Amino acid sequence: MQIVPAFDIMDGRLVRLHQGDFGQKTEYPADPLELARQMEGTGIQRLHLIDLDGAREGKPIHLPLLEKIAGHTRLTIDYGGGLRSMAALRQVWDAGASLFSVGSVAVKAPDEFRAWVERFGADKFIVGADVRNKQVAVHGWVEQTGLDVFEFIRRVKALGVARFSVTDIEKDGALNGPAIDLYREIHQMFPDIDLTASGGISNVADVEALREVGCSAVLIGKAFFEGIVPMRFFSIYTKA
C-alpha cells in the first residue's frame, strides 16, 4: 500500500480545510516544493495536489507550482481542482501532472467525462467519490446527488477506469479514524479496483487497518501536518 501525501493549495500556501469548508482552514508554513522533495527522499512516489483556488474559480490556478514540483522531483503527481474542460486537462498535463483527479464531472456530466477518458485514456484518471451516508456529494460536498457510491463506481468502472479515491465527508479533517467499514464493503464488491482511502487518519494504526481491508493507497494530509503521522513512517509504505 502507498502513502500519498495530500497537498491542498490556496493562495500559494499549504492549507487544510475541515470537511471541505473554505471558512475553516488551517495554514501550514512549509514550502510545498521543499516538502515534496523531502517526502520523495523517504520513498514516496505519488503526490495528491489539489488546487483549491482552481476549484473555486473553475480553472487551474496553480500551474506554476505544479511545474516546479514536476520539474524538481520524480513524483507521480495527481492533480485536481478546476478540471472542468478538455483544455484544463491539457494545461495540467503539459505542466507535469501524470494523473487527473476528478469528481463532480463524472457524476454530473457523464458524457463529457466519457469524452475525456476516450481522449486521454482511462489509466490517466483517479475518480473521487465524496460520500455521506453512502451517497455521493458534489460541488464542495454541499449537493447530495442521491447516487449510491457503489452504483457510481460501477458506472465509472465500465469506462475502464480502475483508480478511485473515496472520502467519507464526516471523517475528513476530523482525525477521528477512517471509515473502515465503508472501504471494506467497497473492496469486497470491487476487489479489482485501485482504492485510495481519504479522511479521518488519526494514527499509524489506521493506515495498517486500511491496508488490511484492501485499500491500495491512503491519502494523508492533516495527520501529517499536525505531527500525528510522522514523515519517517512514510518509508514503511513505498511500494506502488
Each residue's pLDDT tens digit, 33-66: 999 999 999 999 999 999 999 988 889 999 999 9
DSSP-derived 3-state class of residue 215:
coil
Q: Domains in the chain, start-ordered, CATH in brackets? A: 2-236 (3.20.20.70)
Query: Among 21-25, 102-106, 206-210, whose mean pLDDT is lowest?
Result: 21-25
Which residues form the catalytic set?
Answer: 8, 130
- What angle (nearest 5°) sits at the alpha carbon of residue 8, between those of residues 7 and 14? 80
Residue 88 CA to residue 30 CA, distance in Å, equals: 27
Picking from 235, 219, 232, 229, the residue whose alpha carbon sits closest to that of residue 8 is: 219
Bin 17: left if φ > 0, else alpha if -120 < ψ < 50, else beta.
beta
Residue 240 banded pLDDT, cuts 50, 70, 90: very low
Residue 222 CA to residue 201 CA, distance in Å, equals: 8
Average pLDDT of every residue of the chain: 89
The pLDDT of residue 20: 57
Dmax (CA) for the chain in angstroms is: 43
Q: Which three cell numbers stand for residue 77?
A: 503527481
H helices present in 2-148, as ranges: 32-41, 52-57, 63-72, 86-94, 104-108, 110-120
3-7, 23-27, 55-59, 225-229: range with highest mean pLDDT: 3-7
Residue percentage of the chain with pLDDT more than 70: 90
Residues whose CB falls within 8 Å of the CB of residue 220, separated by 6 or more in sequence, listed in order: 3, 4, 5, 6, 201, 207, 229
Picking from 160, 203, 157, 201, the residue whose alpha carbon sits closest to that of residue 183 is: 201
On the question of pLDDT at 178 being above 80, the answer is yes
